[in-house]
Structure 1
Amino acid sequence: MASGTETSGSGDLGRTLELLWDTGRRPSRGPRPGLTLERIVAAAVEVADREGLGAVSMRRIATELGTGAMSLYRYVPGKGELIDLMLDRVQRPSEDPADLGDGDWRSALHALGHATLALYRRHTWLLDVNQSRPVLGPSALDGMEKVLARIRAMGLSDPELVSAIVMIDGYVVGAARTQVYEQEAGRSSGLTDAQFWEAQRSTLERAMAGGRYPVLASLSEGTFGTGFDHFEFGLQRILDGLEVLVARRRAADAPAPSAPPAGSAGSAGSAAPEQPA
């Protein structure tokens, strides 16, 4: 898998926006009744899921749909625009409010992290698209609207709220890339993870016994095993950091306690009550 083989927004931006938001002129009926933009995009996603983004071309999608490539051009100008339509299709947010946690901002961002990881695992070709300048369609905005509505209670500034989402996404993309690459390495080598590490065992044991790596040698058995959920650990630490920031902002915004009136009981200038003899 080569990262960044395609770039979002590489097609005709105006035409892409028309197609995403359904504001352009609809094509006249083509020679293949029933052909729609929705079917074209769905077929392209299916090909990318099965064979990777490199397999997606106008000719290939036309073949999948049993029509000629020229028929597709009546609906979408080319592959650049098609890529952005594919991105919007797979990013459609869930309609179930429970999929964004139990209502507080932390559960919403936690759910977002896991949902995004699942998205990249279902559609590994997403890692091959440079999305640094995304073309925003209804799915992207629907998803952001739902998350922002849940996390607005954090009390951060608007740029900071967006940055929290960007932070989660950046973490997930890195984790997804590692997981997908591990799967691809297994398929291409024909070795399972267990077989791969077993092949290195004797060499590593000799290295640990030589005294050059005392800290590594002292680590407990199973430290590098698969039982530890590194993704969840990292995600929780990001949320912990945000929680500290939220608490700090709330403390700073809280009104200062008012001083008691001069001469009132307990004030610094009041006299202690006289004690009985």
Structure 2
Amino acid sequence: MPTERTSAGDPARTLQLLWRETAPAGGRGPRRGLSIDAVVEAATAIADTEGLDAVTMRRVAKELAVVPMTLYTYVPAKAELLDLMLDAAYARMPRPDTAGLPWQHRVSAIADENRALFERHPWAAAVSTSRPPLGPGLMGKYEHELSAFEGLGLSDLQMDDCLNHLLTFVQASARAAADVRSARHDSAMSDRQWWQVNAPLLARVLDANAYPTAVRVGTAAGTARGTAYDPDHTYAFGLRRILDAFAALIERNRNPNSST
């Protein structure tokens, strides 16, 4: 389960910060050279290298060489800071122009762009965005991503549903990929090495006659991929299946009387 979620702070204050409609509060005014953007950049750098748990107001203040109370004049708490971090990451996402390309290419590009986001910022994959940060980064991202579904005969609700389904898949894939990287790091072994170490024990305790399908399929998959779970293969397979499902929905909308 995600340990952090967006929009957990004061909504009014968060929106003011996201859209930069507020000035730092405090007695003697802002410190020269410090800004909301600088705070967000410092916090993001910490999260990228050490994880989101390492991001505290005290730690960010230390990175910026200010006392924590100075930081609070720019961002009131970590909840609002997280929204600012994620929205800034959204704003920096490349948004290549895919107009005129087949819709499958446009949708695949959206998936790949979000996968790249989670590779640049692994912490973002673990954040729940069921209540998204409604800042300019998110709105620009949403506008860009919806354009991949424009002109396909989908209703507005279907466009939103398709995009949500796609992004949920990408985020889940990113979390699974992060788990694989953590397992490899913690065990100091590749997946192939791990299976080589455990295969003899498994062969002794596993009755292949009791689990014939599992043994047959598991052996075939493991032989083909060198591991029980390959994040790249699973992502590519899942994306293809999503495109197939979208194609069926588009076809039904275009031909409502069709039997397909």
TM bracket, shorter-chain basis: 0.7 to 0.9
Where structure 1 has 5 or more consecutive residues not aligned to the other structure, the ranges are 255-277
Q: Deviation at 1:208? A: 6.5
Matching of residues 51-90 of structure 1 within 5 Å: 51-90=50-89
Change (3 A) 1:49 1:127: same
1:211-252 deviation digits (Å, cap 9, x = unpaired)? 223234444472443587221111011111110111121123
Change (3 A) 1:216 1:156: same
Q: CA RMSD in A?
A: 2.4
What residue number does 1:245 align with?
249
Where structure 2 has 5 or more consecutive residues not aligned to the other structure, the ranges are none
Task: Using structure 2 for the length normalisation, give the TM-score.
Answer: 0.87
What residue number does 1:183 align with?
181
Distance 2:94 2:180 in 1: 32
Residue pair 1:93, 1:142 contacting (<8 A) in 2 also: no
Residue pair 1:8, 1:129 contacting (<8 A) in 2 also: yes
Q: Deviation at 1:126? A: 1.6
**Which protein shows a greater Rg?**
1
Q: Once the two structures are aligned, what percentage of the paired residues are identical?
A: 36
What residue number does 2:200 align with?
202
Q: Deviation at 1:119? A: 1.4
What residue number does 1:263 align with?
none
Please say which of residues 15-24 and 212-221 is displaced more in the overlay: 212-221
What residue number does 2:33 align with?
34
Matching of residues 15-164 of structure 1 within 5 Å: 15-27=13-25, 30=29, 32-92=31-91, 94-98=93-97, 100=98, 103-164=101-162
Distance 1:150 1:172 in 2: 16
Change (3 A) 1:136 1:253: farther
Q: Deviation at 1:34? A: 0.5
Please say which of residues 177-186 and 113-122 is displaced more in the overlay: 113-122
Q: Deviation at 1:194? A: 1.7
What residue number does 1:268 align with?
none
Residue pair 1:209, 1:217 contacting (<8 A) in 2 also: no
Distance 2:131 2:102 in 1: 30
What residue number does 2:237 align with?
233
1:97-144 deviation digits (Å, cap 9, x = unpaired)? 24x586332212111112212211221212332221112111111011
Residue pair 2:87, 2:135 contacting (<8 A) in 1 also: yes
| Paired positions, count | 251
1:25-64 deviation digits (Å, cap 9, x = unpaired)? 3558746311011010000000011111111111111100
Residue pair 2:94, 2:113 contacting (<8 A) in 1 also: no
Task: Using structure 1 for the length normalisation, give the TM-score.
Answer: 0.82
SS at structure 2 position matched to 1:66: coil
Distance 2:23 2:216 in 1: 68
